[in-house]
Structure 1
Amino acid sequence: MRTNRGMELPEDFWIPVALDTNNITSLSPFLVPQDHLGGTGTFYIMAGFMFFLFTVGTSINVLTIACTIQHKKLRSHLNYILVNLAVANLLVSCVGSFTACCSFATRYFIFGPLACKIEGFMATLGGMVSLWSLAVVAFERWLVICKPLGNFVFKPDHAIACCAFTWVFALIASLPPLFGWSRYIPEGLQCSCGPDWYTTNNKYNNESYVMFLFCFCFAVPFATIIFCYAQLLITLKMAAKAQAESASTQKAEREVTRMVVVMVLGFLVCWMPYASFALWVVNNRGQPFDLRLATIPSCLSKASTVYNPVIYVLLNKQFRSCMMAMVGMGGGEEESSTSQSVTEVSKVGPA
């Protein structure tokens, strides 16, 4: 019985100093509602939001995968990476969002300490694969359009290798807390689990793990995205300038510029709050903060399961038309005019 774990409970969760009492078991997020952390309405609103992320995120990512399987014309090297992104999003929505929905509805993590570790690991794994997949998409666009390697052709085998790369790096990032470098515990309102940003316990070396994640899983992918998309925009602007009389080229340059801005903003909305919050906690040990606010970064990262497909899949006309055909809402023959125009523009880029 969990109620008989006694003094083992502090190893499984963290309690703010202001809430610490002699009867620590009574505050366990695995045993009782965490009403001391927020109002009932807050928990139910979060449960509704997580239910939305679970249903919409699961649906759109399953549809992305099924659509690619059904339509051969979608099996391009770029779409392999988008499917990899969909699989990662599916992992987060089915495990992270669903578990959080149930826990917010009951106002505590009803599944227990072991499930907390599993959910924290799976959600972190999916999140890291998603994050690195965004960087790989940017890298692929840079290779194909800017042609830094000359006549190098990015083939499906290269895309598969890139997908494997995202999972290897994600495992490197998400496995350590299972083996003693940091740990997975309830976070925010204690209804979802993630790495321990909060404590200074030298046993877990949490500070070094947070810095590792920030550098390895945020700074490097973000720098990759910024560099690749900056080079892409420069190439397209040069092409548009060289073809100033071409209306289609000018239109393509504007469309791609807008898409790049949306992609970068989507990345920042997803990961900047989480990274910033973790760094703030590490560098301001002992400073009080509202756990309701600490829940926001986790929710924004889980929300990426919805807005990543919207940005990377639904804005692709070819993907969108095939999806509409699958659900009986239109034909599936419309091609991605933006992608074709970008290809046309890139022909005048570096050879």
Structure 2
Amino acid sequence: MKLRVNRQEELPDDFWIPIPLDTDNMTALSPYLVPQDHLGTLGLFYSLSALMFVLFVGGTTINVLTIACTIQYKKLRSHLNYILVNMAVANLIVSSVGSFTCFYCFAFRYMILGPLGCKIEGFTASLGGMVSLWSLAVIALERWLVICKPLGNFAFKSEHALIFCALTWFFALCASVPPLVGWSRYIPEGMQCSCGPDWYTTGTKFNTESFVLFLFCFCFSVPFTCIVFCYSQLLFTLKSAAKAQAESASTQKAEKEVTRMVVVMVLGFLVCYLPYASFALWIVNHRGQTFDLRLATIPSVFSKASTVYNPVIYVLLNKQFRSCMRKMLGMSGGDEDESSASQSVTEVSKVGPS
């Protein structure tokens, strides 16, 4: 269904839905009271419910395993793995609260948990998503400092990792608390079965436009710039070392592996957060134009899917993590993987500047 961006300001603080072009009865269509069947078929709602259930189970399982594995094996408690665990905790919040709430509400086809449940789901999903986002930037920064050594003999230690982890939560709170206290607000989004910041309404009552610009600049552009800068510097360093050691097959192999890793990481970041950033900016710059609420659901789905594919990229592709996880689950082959992991770490260290 095509919907128009609303310019009306005098609406209840805990409720807003874009006015469908064929009706003016907002109360009858309240996403807190009745199924939103005018927005899609039963098959679409139930399919999204099933997808959210998969993300809930997959995201909760993989992130719980990541945390449990780090607790069980002391050798995993390095500065980089602290950041990975920090991201796993954030992902666990999103999957256990955000994805589960969406699974439940899509099954009923409306925000059955009411305005309070909407605010809780919107806040927790935003908080966990922002912590995960900033953790990706911290991982990029850590890789740059460790391998490229721009600060000379500076050693990135566990205490530095813990400080940066604390900063990710501080930055996330700066982005997720304002809608609870009047700067924007959390409302049903997309097909009205999940909640997020208000991208739609205009005027001075909620200052949604300024909040969208704040999120885009501070919570997307800054970490994305950090990621691109750090990984580009990492690639330049590795390519220079590989060129100087052209006769070394292991160095060439390490350079190719890291290049693939960087491409996957940057693409993963864009897949997760670019849809939200693009949609929010489009809404702000196209007031009064129609849009399809089913398309507005896509950013929420992509961001919640990050609770599964981010751990795959950053944890399961980490050979040391994968080795310990297989041991914890009683699977064979852990020793071989650990040996391979040690060898891989040695080769990458050789590529970096001494």
Q: Same fold (TM over 0.5)?
A: yes
- Give the structure 1 partner of residue 177 of structure 2: 175
Aligned-pair identity in percent equals 75
Q: 2: CA distance between counterparts of 1:185 and 1:38?
A: 19
1:119 aligns with 2:125: no
1:223 aligns with 2:229: no
TM-aligned CA deviation for residue 73 of structure 1? 0.9
- Give the structure 2 partner of residue 25 of structure 1: 27
Q: 1: CA distance between counterparts of 2:48 and 2:54?
A: 10
Q: 2: CA distance between counterparts of 1:122 and 1:87?
A: 12
For residues 156-203 of structure 1, the C-alpha deviation after alignment (integer angstroms, 9 at most, x for no partner) is: 000000100100000011100000000000000000000000111420
TM-aligned CA deviation for residue 51 of structure 1? 0.3
Q: Is contact 1:64–1:83 with CA below 8 Å preserved after alignment?
A: yes
Which residue of 123, 133, 136 corresponds with 1:134? 136
Which residue of 235, 238, 259 corresponds with 1:236? 238
Q: 1: CA distance between counterparts of 2:203 and 2:68?
A: 45
Q: Which has the higher contact order (CA 8 A, sep 6+)?
A: 2
Which residue of 332, 336, 350 corresponds with 1:344? 350
TM-aligned CA deviation for residue 9 of structure 1? 7.5
Secondary structure of 1:194's match? strand
Q: 2: CA distance between counterparts of 1:113 and 1:339?
A: 50
Which residue of 137, 152, 155 corresponds with 1:153? 155
Query: Pairwise CA RMSD of aligned residues?
Result: 1.3
For residues 259-302 of structure 1, the C-alpha deviation after alignment (integer angstroms, 9 at most, x for no partner) is: 00000000000000110000000000111111000000110000
1:103 aligns with 2:105: yes
Q: Is contact 1:271–1:301 with CA below 8 Å preserved after alignment?
A: yes
- Give the structure 2 partner of residue 287 of structure 1: 289
Q: 1: CA distance between counterparts of 2:28 and 2:142?
A: 52
| CA pair 30-9 structure 1, distance change in 2 beyond 3 A | farther
Name the amino acid aligned to 2:63. N
Matched length: 341
- Give the structure 2 partner of residue 5 of structure 1: none
Which residue of 38, 52, 55 corresponds with 2:54? 52
- Give the structure 2 partner of residue 40 of structure 1: 42
- Give the structure 1 partner of residue 93 of structure 2: 91
Name the amino acid aligned to 1:342. V
- Give the structure 1 partner of residue 201 of structure 2: 199
Range with greater deviation from structure 2 (219-228 or 243-252): 243-252
Q: Is contact 1:33–1:108 with CA below 8 Å preserved after alignment?
A: yes
- Give the structure 2 partner of residue 330 of structure 1: 332
Secondary structure of 1:285's match? coil
TM-aligned CA deviation for residue 10 of structure 1? 3.7
TM-aligned CA deviation for residue 324 of structure 1? 1.2
Q: Is contact 1:255–1:338 with CA below 8 Å preserved after alignment?
A: no
Secondary structure of 1:93's match? helix
| CA pair 329-9 structure 1, distance change in 2 beyond 3 A | farther
- Give the structure 2 partner of residue 4 of structure 1: none
Q: Is contact 2:50–2:103 with CA below 8 Å preserved after alignment?
A: yes
- Give the structure 2 partner of residue 300 of structure 1: 302
For residues 228-287 of structure 1, the C-alpha deviation after alignment (integer angstroms, 9 at most, x for no partner) is: 000000000011111111111110000000000000000000000110000000000111
Q: Is contact 1:256–1:338 with CA below 8 Å preserved after alignment?
A: no
Q: 2: CA distance between counterparts of 1:319 and 1:45?
A: 33
TM-score calculated relative to the size of structure 2: 0.94
Runs of 4+ deviating beyond 6 Å: none
Q: 1: CA distance between counterparts of 2:216 and 2:203?
A: 19
Q: 2: CA distance between counterparts of 1:176 and 1:94?
A: 23
Q: Is contact 1:77–1:154 with CA below 8 Å preserved after alignment?
A: yes
Residues 56-95 of structure 1 mapped to structure 2, 5 A cutoff: 56-95=58-97
TM-aligned CA deviation for residue 328 of structure 1? 1.6
Which residue of 245, 248, 253 corresponds with 2:247? 245
